[in-house]
A and B are shown apart, each in its own frame.
Chain A
Amino acid sequence: QVQLQESGPGLVKPSETLSLTCTVSGDSISSYYWSWIRQPPGKGLEWIGSIYYSGSTNYNPSLKSRVTISVDTSKSQISLKLRSVTAADTAVYYCASSLAVAGSYFDCWGQGTQVTVSS
């Protein structure tokens, strides 16, 4: 069973770049698509984007101009960079696995990491 662990700074200043890492264990990183999903406090879930081990990415159009997702297969890690953050980017950030970009489901999730944007 794949296990996911998010890590990164819990506090980011406005206008700076949020950087998070998701470490994959228990299965090959080439077996799945990997997504970042976030949840603002007290609100619902928003898909940020996904990546395949080959490096192929898909992004939510609402965030596409500010997001970069990358993969390091040697470290079994997926990274998220979100530029020019504001308070609206304060959320719990999850990484999750799926078998495809479309027509699939998120069957394994990390525990999530809280990121607060504040000066």
Chain B
Amino acid sequence: DIQMTQSPSSLSASVGDRVTITCRASQSISSYLNWYQQKPGKAPKLLIYAASSLQSGVPSRFSGSGSGTDFTLTISSLQREDFATYYCQQSYSPPPTFGQGTKLEIK
């Protein structure tokens, strides 16, 4: 299985901050990398697919980049509703695997 490692595991930030979360794959996955947001008690929500494509309805302050083994999710200006846990997921090779999550908390 392809292992996905996110950093940091947790992050404190303020409204208006620019935040970057990193995801690293244990082998090259081309651009088959997706990002999800999960709030407590809710199902994950797709934010970014294919490394950099914004899912319909997702605010443009979210962006993704990377290819190969290293990827980033950037939130350009944090809003209060962005405080959540974020997961990356590879779809290059079954089984699809997720990172361990990055919990974004209010400073």
Binding site for B on A (CB under 8 A): 35, 44-47, 58-62, 94, 96, 98, 101-107, 109-112
Q: How many A-B residue pairs have CB under 8 A?
A: 59
Bitwise, B91-107 to A at CB < 8 A (1) or not (0) is 11111111111000000
Q: Give chain B nearest CB distance to A51 CB in angstroms.
A: 13
Counting chain B CB atoms within 10 Å of each CB, the highest count among A44, A105, A110, A111 belongs to: A105
Secondary structure at the B interface, as helix, strand, loop or mixed, is: loop
* Pair B43/A94 contact, Cβ less than 8 Å: yes
Closest 9 CB pairs of A and B: A109-B43, A105-B49, A105-B34, A45-B98, A60-B95, A47-B96, A44-B100, A107-B46, A44-B101
CA distance A96 to B96 in the complex (A): 13
* Pair A107/B55 contact, Cβ less than 8 Å: yes
Residue among A96, A102, A106, A111 making CB contact with B94, cutoff 8 Å: A102
A-B contact sample (10 more), CB < 8 A, given A102-B32, A109-B45, A111-B42: A45-B98, A47-B95, A61-B1, A94-B44, A96-B43, A98-B91, A102-B91, A105-B89, A106-B34, A106-B46
CA distance A30 to B101 in the complex (A): 32
Judge if B87 is at the interface, Cβ distance under 8 Å. Answer: yes
* Pair A102/B93 contact, Cβ less than 8 Å: yes
* Pair A44/B95 contact, Cβ less than 8 Å: no
6 pairs, A vs B, C-beta closer than 8 Å: A47-B98, A59-B95, A61-B1, A94-B44, A106-B34, A106-B44
* Pair A103/B92 contact, Cβ less than 8 Å: yes
CA distance A105 to B89 in the complex (A): 8
* Pair B98/A46 contact, Cβ less than 8 Å: yes
* Pair A47/B44 contact, Cβ less than 8 Å: no
List A contacts of B91 (CB < 8 A).
98, 102-105
Q: A44-B98, A44-B100, A47-B97 are in contact. Are A105 and B46 (CB under 8 A)?
A: yes
List B contacts of A110 (CB < 8 A).
43
List B contacts of A45 (CB < 8 A).
44, 87, 89, 98
